[in-house]
Amino acid sequence: MPGRTTLRQTMLGWSIARHGLAMLVTVLLGGLLSATLVRFAPGFDVDENQLDPRLNAASVQALRDARLQEHNVARFYYKSLMRAAHGDLGTSISLGQPVTTLLKQRAPLTLRLVSIGLLMSWSAALALALSAAWWRSASYDAVTTIVSGLFLCLPAAVLALLSVLWNVPGSLAIALIVFPRSYRYARNLLAKAYSLPHIITARAKGLSELRILLWHAMPVIGPQLLAVAGVSVSVAVGAAIPVEALCGLAGFGQLAWQAALARDLPLLVNITVLVTLVTLLANSGADVLGQALRGEHA
Amino acid sequence: MMRRRNSSFAPSGLARPNSSTHSLRCGLHSFAASRLGHGVRRTIFQYFLPLMFCFTFLGQVWAQGGGELRFCLRAEPKTFDPLKVEDDASVSIRYLTGGVLVRMNRQTQALEPELAQSWKVSKDGKSISFKLRTGISFSDGTPFSAEDVAYTVQQLMDPALHSPTGDAFRSGPSKVETKIISPSQIAITFPAPVAGLDRLFDQVAILSARSSKKEMAVLGPFMVADYKPGTTVLLKRNPNYWKTDAQGRKLPYLDSISLDIQPNRDVEMLRFKRGEVDLINALDSEYFDKLAATSPQLVHDAGASLDSEQMWFNEVAKAPLPAYKKNWFRSATFRRAVSQAINREDLSRVVFRGHAQPAVGPFSPANKFWFNSKLKPTVYSPQASLKSLQAEGFRLENGTLKDREGNDVVFSIITNSGNKYRERMAVLIQEDLQKVGIHVNVVTLDFPSLIERMTQTFDYEAILLGLTNVGLDPNEEMNVWLSSSENHQWNPQQKTPETAWEAEIDRLMRAQASGADAKKRKESFDRVQEIVVEQAPFIFLVNKNALSAVSSSVQGASPVILHPQTFWNAERLTVTAK
């Protein structure tokens, strides 16, 4: 049916364009909001080095002047956007290095931490959720629910500290932070799917579990699982901040923490924009992919 | 309290008796005597054993020559340019890589010649001339001469530089003149006298005027070989380093130093316990005691450091405070009474677990030359405190102190959040002052917020903070003591001194800054210390001890109170295999 395919493609194209526009607006607003919050945070105007008794009045004044350029938020943000359009993200006040360089240096570690963390958490969540759906054992379900509940109750900082104490990788801490959320959604979706009449019938007829999962369960739960996966990216990126800060890992999270403490406006705004962008990309990507899958299924 | 490691105080690995070599020789001796014939024995004694001994000795020497020292920097170094250095991490790197004309021995606090063989300061304190060592090269092979010193000084004195190192030399508006007398002689003249001029050169790492590598070409024992931002700075031995030890061996002994950037002190401690790092500087007293309980040979308490913890009241005329509170804070009697009511012994014992000394005045006794030994410690006495407050018109009613107008004496102390020692000190001060009827509220703020209140809005009543002293000379604290300066914390930027005693401090500080006679300078600064104790604009509380930890794999370490505590003699340290 070529007409139906074209319509579906047009709708998908519209959906991508809508998501793109929403992303752009959200990112710009996020950046402005972040700049405004930092600008009006107490202690924005000061530099700790002002307290160095060896500095003379001219040097202290020079430190103050450096902050004056950022007093007007609107002007700062406009200038930052203009510079960003030419590939210049400004210079970090606290670290004295170009923001682009800092982000490039820190990105690989955070990317690795978050990717491995997500992979571990989703592998564990899907394995446990599937086994719970297949076995349908009340005691097994109870044990997995209690374990995931326990991790859900533990603050991210505690898990990060435990990973330091036990000398385990930070990615495991991120995995344990994401795991309970992924597991609970995956378990509920799978349990619901496996109670559908056609899947019960398929199991009664003796179809293999793998065939049931891939041919009957996944088409039903796929789009929803993708949406949860999108959300879990945001959770993992958020978890990277305390994990990196507490474990002393030199990624975005640690950089964001240092920038916040130093009221480093250029660095904070760029990190906020980048994190917002990653989160939106993950969520919108999951949405669009889910929509495409639903369309395919229909 | 001083804990010593058995092996750490030997001057170098080579000077120590080599017990393992000795026992090996004895063992072979008895074996040879019992089993072999006389001729063979003779051969063994004449040739084989001495040869074995030589190999063993050379093996030991070789083993001591290598190794990598690992420790943590608590923040990212902001710069590798030694002239722009202001943060602790960069100071540490400058110390390890920079070659200086004169170096203050961190143990004796005396100046010693380094790149300069000798030096002379003029009587008026404006000029200094250096006679330089010859035949020295930078790490990249470019030769060192007076031209490099002139270049460094000109760069350092650039008005646009705004670095603490450069500002310490600025004595007047005119330019600094450098005169190259010969490739190994140079004279530097400043527009006005600079107090303690020669000591300031301890902080000036000489740059190469000709090297294309600029600040990466160094004259110190190590050079930056690799930098992984946020993770590590790797220093390698400078192959052109000029120093040798008493036996003529080239220094430094170490092959490399790995500086791991680790802001989290808990992680630093864990890594030390796991053997992943070899040193910890400025160890927390809590960690010190924990480590001392299990491995007392690893920890060092070098005694009171230069750092002080102090509190002060807001005496700024335009501060947004009620007039009656300003009157209390501007009264020396009130400030002294508060000082008397604080139990400093308790602060040292409870908060710092005995690893701190009650502070006497502005300078710690650790500053051997400048500390005024005639100062009397403030005696803790709530009764005497209350008595002097009553003489000033205050009265105690139902456990609450009231002023003449009937206002309850209540104020808040601000300190920086996250500093558990200051938070605990504030609570103890709160309890102490309650005994004389003063109610204290403890407020913690993050550091930028606190600095904003302290330097811009003046919206505070009292502040509890610490002062980290890097240098020994009072001239480096001019901006604290001059009433017109920004860092005159209790009442900064006064157009003219608002009190007679501040005018007197201004006069004495300027007198000591313009004199070259150390004895006269000391007399002036002794009087400044006396006035500060009498007037109590700062209430000095404790001087923290210099605590550190050194792994047993590090040989030759001898921690001191001055920065950089454990690795001040890095060029003579060795690390044995773990």
For every residue of B500-525, DSSP letters joined together read HHHHHHHHHHHHHHH---HHHHHHHH
**B33 pLDDT exceeds 70?**
no
Angle at Cα B419 formed by Cα B418 and Cα B423, nearest 5°? 100
User: Is A164's CB within 8 Å of B451's CB?
Assistant: no
Share of chain A above pLDDT 90, in %: 18
With tokens 């564990």, the residue in question is: A124
**Torsions phi, psi for A244 (to 5 deg):** -70, -40
* Residue range A265-290, pLDDT digits in tens: 889 999 999 888 988 888 888 888 87
Amino acid at B50: P
Band (pLDDT 50/70/90 cuts) for residue B57 is very low
Residue A271's nearest CA partner among A31, A26, A9, A45 is A31
> How many CA atoms are closer than 13 Å to the CA of B259, on its beta-carbon side?
31
What is the mean pLDDT of the segment spanning B45-52? 52
d(CA A240, nearest CA chain B) in Å: 15
d(CA B286, nearest CA chain A) in Å: 17
User: Is B456's CB within 8 Å of A46's CB?
Assistant: yes
Residues 189-248 of B with CB under 8 A from A: 228-231
Report the complex ipTM. 0.75
* Residue range A163-214, pLDDT digits in tens: 888 888 999 999 999 999 899 889 888 888 888 888 888 888 888 888 888 8
Residues of A in contact with B449 (CB under 8 A): 42-43
**B30 pLDDT exceeds 70?**
no
Q: What is the CATH number of the domain that holds A123?
A: 1.10.3720.10
Residue A266's nearest CA partner among A64, A65, A96, A43 is A96
* Residue range A31-44, pLDDT digits in tens: 888 888 888 888 88
Report the Cα B64 to chain-centroid distance in Å. 28
**B340 pLDDT exceeds 90?**
yes
In a domain, A142, yes or no: yes
Band (pLDDT 50/70/90 cuts) for residue B413 is very high
**B17 pLDDT exceeds 50?**
no
Count of the separate structural domains present in chain A: 1
Residues of B in contact with A50 (CB under 8 A): 451, 455, 486-487
d(CA A105, nearest CA chain B) in Å: 7
In a domain, A20, yes or no: no
Share of chain B above pLDDT 90, in %: 71
* Residue range B519-540, pLDDT digits in tens: 999 999 999 999 999 999 999 9
Report the Cα B28 to chain-centroid distance in Å. 50
* Residue range A83-127, pLDDT digits in tens: 888 888 888 888 888 999 999 989 999 999 999 999 999 999 999
The predicted pLDDT at position B559 comes to 95
d(CA A21, nearest CA chain B) in Å: 35
Residues of A in contact with B477 (CB under 8 A): 53
pTM for the predicted model, two decimal places:
0.81
**Cβ–Cβ contact A51 with B under 8 A:** yes
What does the alpha-carbon distance between residue B460 and residue B326 come to, in Å, rounded to a whole number?
A: 11
Band (pLDDT 50/70/90 cuts) for residue A217 is confident
CA B369, B374, B380, B386: dihedral to nearest 10 degrees? -130
Residue B356's nearest CA partner among B267, B428, B277 is B428
**B120 pLDDT exceeds 60?**
yes
User: Is B479's CB within 8 Å of A54's CB?
Assistant: yes
**Cβ–Cβ contact A40 with B under 8 A:** no
Band (pLDDT 50/70/90 cuts) for residue A18 is confident
What does the alpha-carbon distance between residue A216 and residue A194 come to, in Å, rounded to a whole number?
A: 9
Amino acid at B542: V
What does the alpha-carbon distance between residue B130 and residue B267 come to, in Å, rounded to a whole number?
A: 45
- pLDDT higher for A9 or B397? B397
The predicted pLDDT at position B228 comes to 87
Band (pLDDT 50/70/90 cuts) for residue B19 is very low
Residue B193's nearest CA partner among B169, B175, B177 is B169
What does the alpha-carbon distance between residue A152 and residue A25 come to, in Å, rounded to a whole number?
A: 33
**A130 pLDDT exceeds 50?**
yes
Report the Cα B36 to chain-centroid distance in Å. 62
Please check whether residue A99 is in contact with residue A90, taking contact to mean a CB–CB distance below 8 angstroms. Answer: yes
Residues of A in contact with B159 (CB under 8 A): 58
Domain of residue A135, residue span: 100-261
Band (pLDDT 50/70/90 cuts) for residue B457 is very high
**Bridge-based pairing state of the strands B256-261 and B68-73:** parallel
Residue A176's nearest CA partner among A111, A95, A259, A116 is A116
* Residue range B129-169, pLDDT digits in tens: 999 999 999 999 999 999 999 999 999 998 888 888 888 88
**Cβ–Cβ contact A46 with B under 8 A:** yes
Probe site for chain A from B276, B446, B481, B483 (most A CB atoms < 10 A): B446
What is the mean pLDDT of the segment spanning B162-185? 87
The predicted pLDDT at position A218 comes to 83
**A28 pLDDT exceeds 50?**
yes
**A297 pLDDT exceeds 60?**
no
**Taking each helix axis from N to C terminus, what angle separates B285-294 and B265-273, rounded to the nearest 10 degrees?**
10
In a domain, A234, yes or no: yes
For residue B564, cis peptide bond before it (omega within 30 degrees of 0): yes
**Cβ–Cβ contact B255 with A under 8 A:** no
Residues of B in contact with A45 (CB under 8 A): 452, 456
Residue in A closest to B89 by C-alpha: A95
In a domain, A56, yes or no: no
Residues of B in contact with A265 (CB under 8 A): none
* Residue range B187-246, pLDDT digits in tens: 999 998 888 899 999 999 999 999 988 889 999 999 999 998 888 999 999 999 999 999
**Cβ–Cβ contact A19 with B under 8 A:** no
Residues of B in contact with A258 (CB under 8 A): 76, 263
**Torsions phi, psi for A12 (to 5 deg):** -65, -40
**B5 pLDDT exceeds 60?**
no
The predicted pLDDT at position B123 comes to 87
Contacts of A251 (CB under 8 A, 6+ apart): A106, A107, A109, A110, A113, A240, A244, B230
Q: Token pair of B148, please?
A: 């490099």
In a domain, A215, yes or no: yes
E strand map for B318-469: 356-358, 395-397, 400-402, 410-416, 439-445, 462-467
The predicted pLDDT at position B50 comes to 53
The predicted pLDDT at position A262 comes to 85
Closest in A44, A56, A102 to B170, CB measured? A56
Angle at Cα B309 formed by Cα B304 and Cα B310, nearest 5°? 135
E strand map for B365-419: 395-397, 400-402, 410-416
What does the alpha-carbon distance between residue B49 and residue B27 come to, in Å, rounded to a whole number?
A: 11
